[in-house]
Structure formats: C-alpha cells, structure tokens
Structure 1
Amino acid sequence: MYKILANDGIDKSAKVALEELGYFVDANHYDGAELDDMIKKVDCIVIRSATKIRKPLIDEAIKGGQLKLIIRAGVGIDNIDHVYAKEQGLIVRNTPNSSSDAVAELAIGHMFSLARHIYIANVTMRQGKWNKKQYAGIELNGKTLGLVGFGRIAQSVAKKAMALGMKIIYFDISNQDGILENCKLVSKEELLTKSDFMSLHIPFIKDLGPFLTKKDFDMMKDGMYIVNTARGGTIDEAALIEALDNGKVMAAAVDVFEEEPTKNETLFTHDKVSLTPHIGAATAEAQARIGLETIEVIKEVLS
C-alpha cells in the first residue's frame, strides 16, 4: 500500500477518494524532526504553501529510500528545492489548473476594495464613524491594469478585468505578445509608468530579490494601486510602506508576505493596506479541484 502524507491538509473528498483507491493518507501536519522522520516513511508528500521542502529535508527523504513523488497542491513550486529534488531522482509536480480563477477573483475583489475604500470603511463604520466624504472612490472602468507575469492566473485576471472595462498591459519574461486579444506586452518601465492598478502574478526568486523596489516605486504613476496575491518577497515591504506614506501608492492589497504569518506591524496596521492571510486559493471549489488534480497526479505517477 502506497503511503501519502498530506502535510498541509487535503480536501476531505480527495482523501476519501484516495483511500478508496487503496492509498493510505496521513493528513496530520508535522514540523522539524517529526517531519524529517515521517518523510522517510512515505511514498508521496503533498504540500501547500506552509511546508517548505528544502535540500536538508530532501536529504532526509533520500535516506529512507521510499519517497518518489512531491506534489505542491497549488500553482507555484517555489517552496520546493525542485531542481535538487529532481537531481535526486524524485518527481516534483504541482496542480496548475485548479486555483487560477480563485486567485484571480481575489485579486479583482481587492481592486474593488481599494477603489471604493471597502476595506477601511468596514473598520471605521464599526468604530461609529461616518466617513462619507473621505471615502469618495474611483471606478475600475477605463483604468489601466498592469499585470506582472502573464501565466494562467494573470490571464484569468485580465479576462475579468476587461469585462469591467479595464485596459490591460503586461510585463512577462517570456516576451510573448498576442496571448490574449486586447492585452499588450510592454517593458517593465512602461508598466511602471502607465499602470493605474498593478497586480503581481510571479514567483519569488530569492537570488533575484523583490520585483518591486524603491527605485521601481519612484518610477510609478502618482496615486496608483497595487495588489499582490502572488508570493511574499516579490515586493520590498519597506519600500511599499514608504510609497504609501508619500502618496506614490494610493493604497495596496496584500495577500502574501515576506514572513508568514507576518510580523510586520507597520504594514498590517497601515490604514492604506487591505489585508488577507494568503487565501488566494482558499475557496471550496478550488480546493475540490486541487484535490481532484492531486489524485490524477498520484494515480499517474504511483500507479
């Protein structure tokens, strides 16, 4: 019987389906020495964003000689040292087709929240304040949305934003133009200077550092809005706070952080920041789809 460790949990229906197929599924969460021990005893480990599979943990898995498959139940695999894992003969997969719309909807939701002050009005109304005049907002219709990266999630954001009347420009290292009609590939400089709203959809690459630094914020259009549902570290948080304080950025929405849970009190108490706790893929529908896609990967590789 193949043993599967779903270290960051798994959709209940997916767990039942795997067990019915004859797999043993452990959905408990392990850290530290416990995880070092458990990873030697399983054929497959399924993780989300909480568990990091780095070289030392991979070395522990190799000692056990049992692990064959690592699955990131989500889009990115940046929390796995995937190149090293593959060099050790392990198969690394993700579920890229399952959560794109969920993350895209959250990004769009944050844009509405910023544009109409929903995030802060909900707080001040509960404090008994009637800030009607202070919360005059703007409309998304007619605004230029700059997308950083143009993969599945960004394309889903683009389609939804175009339905709202937004103009779409994007910067992507692939330099592929014409992927979607009415979406224009631009340079990073043009993206920074022309975007009214900017939404990030790229992995964090430690060796490259943040995509947005102080220098980038200085180039931006005054009073623009930023949404990050991608990865912590893609924006320099200190530079973002400075840009919020000096008005370069009117408001920002942040779902991902340099450290999670975030301890950056200056950021999470800032009255120009809309916050969510890394919930991009946290919808019932997305989790069910991720579960189904995970099952298909396991069946393909282990069977």
Structure 2
Amino acid sequence: MALSLEKDKIRFLLLEGLHENSLKVLNDAGYTNIEYLSHALDPDELAEKIKDAHFIGIRSRTQLTRDILEQAEKLIAIGCFCIGTNQVDLEAAREFGIPVFNAPYSNTRSVAELVLAEAIMLYRGIPEKNAVVHRGGWGKSAKNSHEIRGKVMGIVGYGSIGSQLSVLAESLGMKVIYHDAVTKLPLGNAVQVGSLEELLQNADIVTLHVPDLPSTRYMMKKEQFDLMKDGSYFINAARGTCVEIDDLAAAIESGKILGAAVDVFPKEPKSAEEEFESPLRKFDNVILTPHIGGSTQEAQANIGLEVAEKFVKYSDAGDTTTSVNFPEVSIPVKEGSHRLLHIHQNVPGVLSQINSSFATAGINILAQSLMTEGDVGYLVMDVDNRNSKEALDQLRNIKETIRVRVLF
C-alpha cells in the first residue's frame, strides 16, 4: 500500500512576516514543520532554503523566478499572501507542476476604504494644506475645497474592489460610472460606460482597480490624462505598471490634474532601507503611500486564513480551486480509497494511457477528474486502497508525467 508523506515531514517556508492566522490554520490541520521568517530573503538565501520546502508562503517582496524555482525540487505549491502574483513566474511554476494560490478577496474592504478616504482628502485639498501647516504656514482658504457629494467617481475595473468602492462612494452621495473589459452587473445606481475614453471625459475623479495584464500596462499616459476634465483628480491603488508616472507628473505640474493619490509604483524599494524615488515626491497635492492599500490588520488576518486554507485543501485533498496558474480540480473524498494526483504534459492520449494501464493491471478507479490549462494537465483520481501502490507505479511509467503524489 502506498502512503502519503506524513504531515510532520511536509515542510512549510513562510516569509515576510505573514499573519499568525496562517500558522494557526496549518497547525490546526496537523502541519507543524514550519519555518517562519519575518523578512524576505536575498536570492542566494532563498535558493538555498527553498530546496527542502514543500510549500512556500510569500508576500510582494519575494521574487520566485524561474531560476529560483529550478532549485525547488520538492516544492508542491506557492501561496501569495496578497492579491498580486506578478512576483512569481507563473508559467514556470505551472511547467514544474506547482500551483500558485493567492487571496483575491480578503483585502478588498481595506483598499476600498483607503481610496474613498483619499478621494475626500483630495477634494478638500488636505494634502497640500497639511504640508503648508507643517512648514509653519496657515493656508486657511476654501479655494479648490469641495464636498464629494454629487461628484462623479470613475472606476476603472469593476471587480471585487471596484464594485465595493462603488457602493461606499454612492452611500456618500457620489455618482458612479465604471469601465470594465467585460459587461458587469452594476451595484446600486452605478452606470457602466462603453469605453475608457468616455469615463475619463466624464469623471471628476478617476480611480484604477485593474490587474497587471499586457492590456493594462501603461494604460494611463499623456493621451489619457489629456482626456480628463480640467481640475480633476486621479487615484491609483491597482498596479504601478498601469501608469506612466512621468506623464502623470506632467499633468499635475500643468494643473490639468488638481491632485492625485498613488499607492503603487513601477519601481518600488525592496526594503525600508532603500530610498523611494519618484517624480511625484515634489508635489504637496499628491498623497504617496508605500503600497499599503491592503495593509490593515483585518486584511492581513483574512489573507492568512484564506491562503493557508488553500494550502491545507491542496495538501490534504489535491484541491486546486482558485489557483491562478493551474487547472482547477476539486472532487469529494471517498471512504476506503487512496487519492492520486497526476500532473502531466497536456498532450492527447494521456488519460487513455492511464485508464488502459489501470484496466490491464486490474486497478479499480472509484472517481477521477481531469482538467487542463496551457501545457499542463491535472488528474485527480481515487482508487481502491488495496491498489494504490500498483496505481502509483503505473502513473510514474506514463512518459508525459511531470509529478505524481499519493494522498491518504
């Protein structure tokens, strides 16, 4: 009978000070072999430590490149304890049979609240007034100071964050228009417009909430800023690569954009010791924050739960639901069976080979589910526990096999 690796032998490497909820979830599920570090590792240290890790949990500073992943011979899964996954080479991970999980929903409220607060601050001219008072001035004036009630917020990207922001903005009396690559059902009285250009021309304040995709990279540059209303405002809490920073700086310098708030940047410091550089630093009417849109205790607690639970489901049952780079498979556990996970090259005939070899060997398949994505296929199958050793041997003999595991 083939047996899975004992839980205390499965090693987790958790970096960058993940919330303690991640530890609790893993410990409660029986996983105790955990190395927990409060910081990111330099590439050499990371390459060394990842060699013996079965699971790795990271935030945004750790870069899992192809070169690093090639050192991770035992790695089973990657968890990004954040929304973004651009710090991981997703194609290389899939090629090596490693699913990547993230937390796309856990910090939506935190980001939405920050953006709404920034909108209010910008409309009251608080950033500039605050800077003047800190320097000993006393700029008591109502010039360019407005309530946000009745103003038009243009939300670019109506996903989990954009739609929640929409509801919050409406509750304060704002009018909301939004643009998304696909048709989205509006919440409240929000209205979807037909193009980004239409949104830019009609919004009093524009806020970005889009993923990092080829279609969104530098989607806001001089041409787009020129379309915005004179004296409008701009917020980016999405991805730094969505905005041409020099063009935004020029629009602010000219007065076309009356103020901005930016939380993400094309180039960000790797540590607190590295100086942050940006042409936006010279503007008093710009709020600059160090990529902290989702950095609240509530969001980090939720993220710790969400990603760690995905680790447990994958380790315990092979469940890849919500993986960002991998075929999604989830089937109920059957009593009296052993579960086999077979990751293979996505070419015709693999499933036929497996089923034929099992039939020849007299192995009874109790359940199976196969999904593919890109160049990888992922098969989850349950066999009678008396046949698991033979089944494992048969799967390893399939030439297209990338990785095979046996569970419970």
Question: What band does the TM-score fall into relative to the shorter chain?
Answer: over 0.9
Q: Say yes or no: does 1:296 pair with 2:303.
A: no
Q: Say yes or no: does 1:57 pair with 2:57.
A: no
Change in Cα spacing, 1:14 to 1:93, as seen in structure 2 (3 Å) is closer
Decide which moves more: 44-53 or 270-279.
44-53
CA distance in 1, matches of 2:216, 2:20: 38
Q: Say yes or no: does 1:26 pair with 2:35.
A: yes
Decide which moves more: 146-155 or 28-37.
28-37
Give the secondary-structure state (helix, strand or coil) at the position aligned to 2:241.
Answer: coil
Give the secondary-structure state (helix, strand or coil) at the position aligned to 2:240.
Answer: coil
CA distance in 1, matches of 2:108, 2:22: 19
| Counterpart selection for 2:59 from 35, 43, 48 | 48
CA distance in 2, matches of 1:134, 1:54: 51
Shift of 1:287: 0.8
Shift of 1:79: 2.3
CA contact 2:158–2:184 (8 Å) conserved in 1: no
Change in Cα spacing, 1:294 to 1:209, as seen in structure 2 (3 Å) is closer
CA distance in 1, matches of 2:288, 2:92: 34
Q: Deviations over 1:48-99 (max 9, x none)?
A: 12122222222222xx2x1111111122222222233122211111112211
Decide which moves more: 117-126 or 192-201.
117-126
Shift of 1:100: 0.4
Q: Which residue of 2 aligns with 1:184?
A: 191
CA contact 1:74–1:96 (8 Å) conserved in 2: yes
CA distance in 1, matches of 2:58, 2:299: 15
Q: Deviations over 1:248-276 (max 9, x none)?
A: 11100011111112743421222221111
Decide which moves more: 112-121 or 93-102.
112-121
CA distance in 1, matches of 2:35, 2:264: 27
CA contact 1:140–1:166 (8 Å) conserved in 2: yes
Amino acid aligned to 1:300: K
Identity of aligned residues (%): 36
Q: Which residue of 2 aligns with 1:86?
A: 94
Give the secondary-structure state (helix, strand or coil) at the position aligned to 2:52.
Answer: coil
Alignment of 1:1-303 (within 5 A): 1=8, 2-20=10-28, 21-28=30-37, 29-61=40-72, 64=73, 66-133=74-141, 136-174=144-182, 176-186=183-193, 187-205=195-213, 209-261=217-269, 263-303=276-316
Change in Cα spacing, 1:136 to 1:221, as seen in structure 2 (3 Å) is closer
Amino acid aligned to 1:53: L
CA contact 1:114–1:251 (8 Å) conserved in 2: yes
CA contact 1:78–1:205 (8 Å) conserved in 2: no
Q: Deviations over 1:16-53 (max 9, x none)?
A: 44235333222223121111111221111111121222
List alignment gaps of at least 5 residues for structure 1: none
Give the secondary-structure state (helix, strand or coil) at the position aligned to 2:71.
Answer: helix
Amino acid aligned to 2:185: G
CA distance in 2, matches of 1:233, 1:203: 10
CA distance in 2, matches of 1:205, 1:78: 10
CA distance in 1, matches of 2:240, 2:144: 30
Amino acid aligned to 1:35: L
Shift of 1:117: 2.0
**Rg larger for:** 2
Q: Deviations over 1:268-293 (max 9, x none)?
A: 22222111111111111111111111
CA distance in 2, matches of 1:119, 1:129: 13
TM-score (norm 1): 0.93
Give the secondary-structure state (helix, strand or coil) at the position aligned to 1:170.
Answer: strand
Change in Cα spacing, 1:120 to 1:3, as seen in structure 2 (3 Å) is farther
Q: C-alpha root-mean-square deviation of aligned residues, in Å? A: 1.8
